[in-house]
Amino acid sequence: MIDLDAHVAKGPLRVRSLWSGEGPERIARRVLRRRRLSFALDVVVAVACAALVVLGSRHTATVAARLATSAPPGAAAPAAAMETFRDGSVAELLGRDADLRVEQETPQRVVARLQGGARFRVVHNRQRTFEVQAGEVRVRVLGTIFSVVQLPSGPTQVLVEEGHVQVAWLGGATELQSGEGGVFPPPDAGSAESPSPAALADDAQPLSGASSPPPAPDAHATIGTRGTWRDAAMKGEYGQAYDELAASGHEGVRDEAADLMLAADVARLSGHPEQATAPLRRLCDRHPGDRRAPVAAFTLGRVLLDDLGRPAEAAAAFERARLLWPRGPLAEDALAREADAWARAGHADRARAIAEQYLARYPAGRHADVLRNVASR
Residues at the interface with other proteins (CB under 8 A):
1-2, 4-5, 7-8, 11-24, 26-28, 30-31, 34
| Smallest separation (angstroms) from other proteins to the CB of 37 | 12
Q: Write down the H helix ranges in 223-362.
A: 228-234, 238-248, 257-269, 273-286, 293-302, 311-324, 331-344, 348-361
| Whole-angstrom distance, CA of residue 29 vs CA of residue 269 | 55
**What is the full DSSP assignment across 49-111?**
HHHHHHHHHHHT-SHHHHHHHTPPTTS--TTS-EEE-TTS-EEEEEEEEEEEEEEEE-SSEEE
Least distance (Å) from other proteins to the CB of residue 25? 10
Nearer Cβ to other proteins (7/58): 7
> What is the length of the chain?
377
Q: Which long-range contacts (CB under 8 A, 24 or more apart) does 101-109 make?
A: 103/133
Q: How far is the CB of 13 from other proteins (least distance, A)?
A: 5
> Which CB atom, from 22 or from 369, has the smaller least distance to other proteins?
22
Closest to other proteins by CB, 34 or 226: 34
Please report which residue ranges of 134-272 form alpha helices under DSSP H. 197-203, 219-222, 228-234, 238-248, 257-269
Under 8 Å between Cβ of 102 and 83: yes
DSSP bridge pairs for 167: 139, 174
Shortest reach from residue 44's CB to other proteins, in Å: 21
For the bound state, the minimum distance from the C-beta of residue 45 to other proteins, rounded and expressed in Å, comes to: 21
Cβ closest to other proteins, residue 24 vs residue 309: 24
Closer residue to other proteins, CB minimum distance, 16 or 126: 16
Considering the complex, state which of residue 35 and residue 226 has its C-beta at the smaller distance from other proteins.
35
Report the nearest approach of other proteins to the CB of residue 8 (Å): 5
The distance of closest approach from Cβ of residue 32 to other proteins in the complex, given in angstroms and rounded to an integer, is: 10
Nearest approach, Cβ of 23 to other proteins (angstroms)? 8
- How many Å apart are CA 94 and CA 187, to the nearest integer? 24
Short-list 258, 224, 230, 234, CA closest to 245: 230
Choice between 21 and 171, CB closer to other proteins: 21
Nearer to other proteins, 4 or 210 (CB): 4
Residue closer to other proteins by CB (options 6, 192) is: 6
Contact by Cβ (8 Å): 247, 237 = no
Write the DSSP assignment of 114-152 as a string of letters.
EEEEEEEEPPP-TT-EEEEEETTEEEEESS-EEEEEE-T
Classified as helix, coil or strand, 344 is helix
Given a contact cutoff of 8 angstroms between Cβ atoms, the answer to whether 146 and 121 are in contact is no
Nearer to other proteins, 30 or 86 (CB): 30
Q: Which of 141, 140, 138, 130 is nearest to 104 (CA)?
A: 130
Distance in Å, CB of 7 to other proteins, minimum: 6
Helix 331-344 vs helix 348-361: crossing angle, to nearest 10:
160
Q: How far is the CB of 124 from other proteins (least distance, A)?
A: 51
Give the C-alpha separation, 357 to 346, whole Å.
Answer: 18
